[in-house]
Structure 1
Amino acid sequence: MTDPVTLAVDLQGVATVSLNRPEVHNALDGDTIGFLLATVETLAEDDSIRAVVLTGRGINFSIGHDIEWTRRLTQAGAEEIRYQAGQMVRLLTALDNLDKPLIARVQGSAFGPGAALIACADVAIGVSEALFGFSEVKLGVVPSVIAPWIIRAIGERATRRYFMTAERFNAGKAKRLGLLHQVLEADELDTAVTHAISQLLVNSPAAMAEAKRLVNRIGKLGASEEAIAAGIESTVRVRTSAEGREGIQAFLDKRKPDWMK
């Protein structure tokens, strides 16, 4: 049996995680979600990993939930459905909180939870022919589990529209909404991903991890006193850290910091 998720790590410490079910357009079922979650948790604990690329094999990134798996869940009880929903939440939370830079290499269309995977990435680069959407209401259900990440990515107003209409939108609209950061042609995708990786690898790993935690925390607080206090504490924590001191000193010395050697 072929693993539904594959992992490859290059000499720079860049891990490429690929959804590996091209015959069903990388649809997500319980096994795939479990494999992907285990892979992300393993990478989170590996200090040698500098960045992670999430992509899919075949023509689509992920069309969302697997049809056969969905059919089986129609016969499931509340506890089983609750468990499976919890697994999806665990996966999205693990991706969102991964303390390495996460790049979504979106080589094709993504729907429902497939789009939510992209929403968890720090950098999302997609091809111009990709389509996106949330068709759950056509089936009488709601994309409830993925809502927090989609709302954060494209905003409450746009989420209401696309959750309720179930209409599809193209890559250009996805970029304007904020789901994608960059849109280009398929033959330019790998060059753009490589460029993004090269920009990330010159940065302090600890500082990037702190930046992600800071944005996730302050993003929920707005310009409140708590957010301002969190920003101050983050500045103190980073500036007094080993990498923070090394980075500033390397800049002053006009040399590369230790993490680039």
Structure 2
Amino acid sequence: MSEFIRVERDTRGVATLWLARPDKHNALSSQMMEELEAEAQALAADQDVRVVVLAADGPTFCAGGDLAWMRAQMEMDADTRRFESGKIARALGALAALPQPLIGRIHANAFGGGVGLACVCDVTVAAQGIRMGLTEVRLGLIPANIGPYVVARMGLTRARRVFMSGRLFDADEALSLDILSKVVPPEDLDATIEAEVAPYLACAPGAVADAKRLLAALGGDVTQSAVELAMDALADRWQTEEAAEGISAFFDKRKPQWVK
């Protein structure tokens, strides 16, 4: 049984996959990403599940990668670090591979890996007032493992607006970047999610899965070579003095040397 991921199923075949580490703002730890990958694979194999909703407990949708886990990687050898840092890529890959429609329920802020989670959903609905950002570069790192899915969702031109600046942006800008599909008042979020779910329940499940598979093929799936390229890029970045300085500065509660 998962500790940090919770799955709820209803009688209609709708499964809600909850990020359930609210005390840490759903920061993606090593264990949490392993659990997320495993639960996504189990849902993919469950013939009774027709739609999956990705949601989160607590005040934050997802704060990104767990910084304690990142600091621990500084002490790992290169191969072990590459395997560890690739856990988010594997979790995102499992979500992207779901044969069922995946609907994102973004009720609060999402940073780093949280943006990656939003980007693998087929439809992503967010509450007004949230903030998002690809903040890895502030730590001397890069949004690598989530990168293939972010660029596939946003397109290169839109990704250039936020991929390497680390700046935060609001829900309306996330909508214009194609990260989000809809932005609604917080009190309307659940009703909007339900409205997104309902049409699929009137469709043949096998046809929906085949249509999703065809769409991915026509649109250009994220390739394994792209995922490997991203993992290698992050592995190289971990070796830099900037990465060490960025992580150290965070835990020392000071600004890194490059901040002017």
Interval containing the TM-score (normalised by the shorter chain): 0.7 to 0.9
What amino acid maps onto 1:199 in structure 2?
P
TM score, norm. by length of structure 1: 0.81
| Counterpart for residue 241 of structure 1 | none
Gap runs ≥5 in structure 1: 222-261
| Counterpart for residue 58 of structure 1 | 58
- 1:15-74 Cα offsets, whole Å, 9 max, x none, are 111001111111001000011111011111110111111110012110101121111112
| Counterpart for residue 117 of structure 2 | 117
Q: Say whether residues 1:196 and 2:207 are aligned partners.
A: no
| Counterpart for residue 141 of structure 2 | 141
- 1:110-159 Cα offsets, whole Å, 9 max, x none, are 11111111111111110011111111111111111111111111121222
Task: Say what the alpha-carbon RMSD is for the aligned residues.
Answer: 1.5
| Counterpart for residue 151 of structure 1 | 151
Q: CA deviation at 1:203?
A: 1.4
What amino acid maps onto 2:109 in structure 1?
S
The 1-side partners of 2:11 and 2:2 are apart by 25
Contact 2:103 2:122 in 1 (8 A): yes
| Counterpart for residue 236 of structure 1 | none
| Counterpart for residue 129 of structure 2 | 129
Q: Say whether residues 1:21 and 2:21 are aligned partners.
A: yes
Q: CA deviation at 1:86?
A: 2.9
Structure with larger Rg? 1
| Counterpart for residue 33 of structure 1 | 33
Contact 2:2 2:35 in 1 (8 A): no
The 2-side partners of 1:50 and 1:62 are apart by 25
Contact 2:27 2:64 in 1 (8 A): yes
What amino acid maps onto 2:178 in structure 1?
G
What amino acid maps onto 1:65 in structure 2?
G
Equivalent positions of 1:206-225 (< 5 A) are: 206-220=206-220
Q: CA deviation at 1:220?
A: 2.2
The 2-side partners of 1:34 and 1:2 are apart by 9
What amino acid maps onto 1:205 in structure 2?
P
Q: Moved runs in structure 1, 4+ residues, more than 6 A?
A: none
The 2-side partners of 1:164 and 1:90 are apart by 22
Equivalent positions of 1:228-239 (< 5 A) are: none
- 1:161-203 Cα offsets, whole Å, 9 max, x none, are 3122111111011111111111011110111111111111111
What amino acid maps onto 1:23 in structure 2?
D
Q: CA deviation at 1:2?
A: 8.1
Contact 2:25 2:60 in 1 (8 A): yes
The 2-side partners of 1:25 and 1:204 are apart by 37
The 2-side partners of 1:111 and 1:155 are apart by 19
Q: Greater relative contact order: 1 or 2 (C-alpha under 8 angstroms, separation 6 or more)?
A: 2
The 2-side partners of 1:189 and 1:112 are apart by 22
| Counterpart for residue 94 of structure 1 | 94
Name the SS of the counterpart of 1:162 in structure 2.
coil
| Counterpart for residue 4 of structure 1 | 4
The 2-side partners of 1:215 and 1:49 are apart by 20
TM score, norm. by length of structure 2: 0.82
What amino acid maps onto 1:142 in structure 2?
I
Q: CA deviation at 1:160?
A: 2.4
Contact 2:134 2:143 in 1 (8 A): yes
| Counterpart for residue 243 of structure 2 | none
Report percent identity of matched pairs: 35
For these two proteins, the number of residue pairs brought into alignment is 221
